[in-house]
Amino acid sequence: MIRFSELMSGQTLLPLIQAETPEQGVKIAKAMADAGLGLVEVVLRTKASLATISAIKQQLPQLTVGAGTVINEGILQQAIKAGADFIVTPAVSANLLQALKNCGLPVVPGVSNTADILMALEAGFSEQKLFPASLSGGPAFLKAVSSVFQDVRFCPTGGVNEHNKDEYLALDNVIAVGGTWVAKQQWVEQQNWQAITDACIAANKA
């Protein structure tokens, strides 16, 4: 199976979309695509999230679209049915990891400590999401675990922003960084799609 890092294809930003309507989600995704991004994640935090995934897949077929905030098998199956290309979770459990192993899609399970990392690694996932990154030790934590979990690479999310992203990306065990700062709520409310495009261009620079 293709890995998350292969889907990223050199993209260092995992941009998060939180939309109140599918139409809004498509506009956010288009602004991100206009920045040259080929992959986005829709967080399943609103009632419109699943429909947003389907709408983006239909209207922007060139985009790889992931489903985030997957916390149980029921939500996992709904995300797959909506057309998600990959799955991201905020945390792990034995039950969830078993469902993820069998889902047939690339998965980035969420971890926040060494026990989580080991549990996810034992389940076969060597690419993981550190969440919430800033409250779980940040770059210092990732640097500390790099010698212990030498085969694990991370996508830190949660508290990552334009001011600290480079500190994460400088680490050898970081694939990319995820965040919502590139699609700030006020920009969405103001329909300032150019601001989202500009922020994504700046954030994805190597």
Q: Residues 27, 41, 57, 165: which is the catalytic one? A: 41
Q: 127: Cβ–Cβ under 8 A, 6 or more apart, which residues?
A: 3, 4, 5, 108, 152, 153, 154, 155, 175
The Cα 91–Cα 127 span in angstroms is: 13
Ranges of beta strands (E only) in the chain are 13-17, 39-43, 64-68, 86-88, 107-108, 110-111, 127-130, 153-154, 177-179
The Cα 82–Cα 61 span in angstroms is: 14
**57 has catalytic annotation:** no
CA dist 139 → 55, 86, 121, 157, 174 (Å): 35, 25, 20, 11, 9
**H or E element: which one contains 188?**
helix 185-189
**129 has catalytic annotation:** yes
Q: How many CA atoms lie within 13 A of 155 on its CB side?
A: 30
Q: What's the sign of the alpha-carbon dihedral 153, 157, 160, 165?
A: positive
Q: Residues 27, 57, 127, 129: which is the catalytic one? A: 129
CB-based contact 89:71 (threshold 8 Å): yes
Active site residues: 41, 129
